[in-house]
A = this chain, B = another copy of it.
Amino acid sequence: MNSFEYCCPTRILFGKGMESNVGKQVLKYSKKILLHYGGGSIKKTGLYDRIMESLNASGISVVELGGVKPNPRIALVREGIDLCRKEGIDFILAVGGGSVIDSAKAISVGIPYEGDPWDFFDGKATADSAVPIGVILTIPAAGSEASPGCVITNEDGDLKRSMGTELYIPRFSILNPEIAMSLPPEQLAYGATDILSHLMERYFTNVAHVELTDRLIEATMKTVINCVRRILDDYEDFDAWSELMWSGTVAHNGLLDTGRTGDWGSHAIEHELSGIYDIAHGAGLAIVFPAWMQYLYKHDIARFAQFAARVWNVDTDFFSLEETALEGIARLREFFESMGLATKLSGVDIDDTRLEEMARKCTHSGPVGNFVKLDEGAVLNVLKLAL
């Protein structure tokens, strides 16, 4: 177990109708805010009206910026920064999933920074202050609602890069599972894959003596898997959506990192896929993760066997832990496919023409991954296994 520092101060308000508290929460910080959102689905579902009602009741004036796309763009971040400066805004309310939240995070550190906000993502600058943000979560997936992470795409170069700072961890996040229930099935599939991937990135570690976090991660993985099965069986299963939504936050709020070092190689590889092909992050992860496992499971067969036995209920073959390990990887692939996801690049119409480019860009600042360090050639091999 490693030494660590851990702090997750986000206040979570979880349950039906919780968005009616947003005005009171925002009022602790500001009377004039940026309301940041995506493609406008919040207006169709009535969520927008409920939010505005609560904000109005608290006397909060609102400037709006919608239009955040999946794989959120630096161009809109720049627009948001200019808008906030012009309007004198000192609080951002993000209403959406990880893309909207990450866009809000990038704006929040960009406002007080004199340079271009992309500087934070290509390592040219480190943020030293941020405007506070709050969240109303609509998609259980990215875990950005209580994390220091932020991923932004720069269309100029098809680059998808991340940054991390405690400065913009949301002051509060409102989670109402009823809102998530209006998502289409592909969003459920992408979201659940993202959550499971966050757990797997943490699970595959070389740090020894991490029983507590191993077991906590396994507990969360099992819950995600069972809840997805229940939802696929009955899409109106509120309790399953509730547990899935809360699992998404727990998976990524830092607790499950304590004392261990996660891998994150699969995320790095996937960012190249969605950076170039603009596929959903979850869609990319369902393809990359099984290939990644196939490529390197021999690095630690015991850990993969534990994953198979404890998470996927694979009957342990004590005379061949390798068989056990491989069965676990097969179950993971089946699980992704049960949600209608492709687990091969061919399934999302990506061929081998840009694999070398992705491998090169992915390793632009050195090997990726901690469990096994992957250089350009190794990343290319993982991508080839995904064909």
Q: Does the CB pair B227–A222 fall under 8 Å? A: no
A10 within 8 A of B: yes
> In the assembled complex, how far is the CB of residue A349 from the closest CB belonging to chain B, in whole angstroms?
36
Q: Does the CB pair B223–A212 fall under 8 Å? A: yes
A220 to B310, CA, bound (A): 15
Most chain B CB within 10 A, of A12, A16, A212, A216, is at: A212
Q: Does the CB pair B11–A7 fall under 8 Å? A: yes
A5 within 8 A of B: yes
> In the assembled complex, how far is the CB of residue A203 from the closest CB belonging to chain B, in whole angstroms?
13
User: A246: which B residues are within 8 A, CB to CB?
Assistant: 1, 212, 258-259
Q: Does the CB pair B239–A209 fall under 8 Å? A: yes
Task: Encode A176-196 as 1/0 by CB contact (under 8 A) with B.
Answer: 000000000000000000000
> In the assembled complex, how far is the CB of residue A206 from the closest CB belonging to chain B, in whole angstroms?
15
Q: Does the CB pair A242–B16 fall under 8 Å? A: no
Q: Which of A238-256 contact B (CB under 8 A)?
A: 239-240, 242-243, 246-247, 250, 255
Nearest B residue to A13 via CB reads B5
Q: Does the CB pair A223–B227 fall under 8 Å? A: no
Nearest B residue to A247 via CB reads B212
Q: Which of A199-251 contact B (CB under 8 A)?
A: 208-212, 215-216, 218-220, 222-223, 226-227, 239-240, 242-243, 246-247, 250
Nearest B residue to A239 via CB reads B209
User: A209: which B residues are within 8 A, CB to CB?
Assistant: 239-240, 242-243
Provided the pairs A223-B215, A246-B258, A246-B259 are in contact, do residues A7 and B7 lie with their beta carbons within 8 angstroms?
Answer: no
> In the assembled complex, how far is the CB of residue A221 from the closest CB belonging to chain B, in whole angstroms?
9
A346 within 8 A of B: no
> In the assembled complex, how far is the CB of residue A231 from the closest CB belonging to chain B, in whole angstroms?
13
A209-B243, A215-B223, A218-B219 known; 18 new pairs, CB 8 Å cut-off, are A4-B15, A5-B14, A6-B11, A7-B9, A7-B12, A8-B8, A12-B258, A14-B259, A209-B240, A211-B223, A211-B226, A211-B227, A215-B218, A215-B219, A216-B219, A219-B219, A242-B259, A246-B258
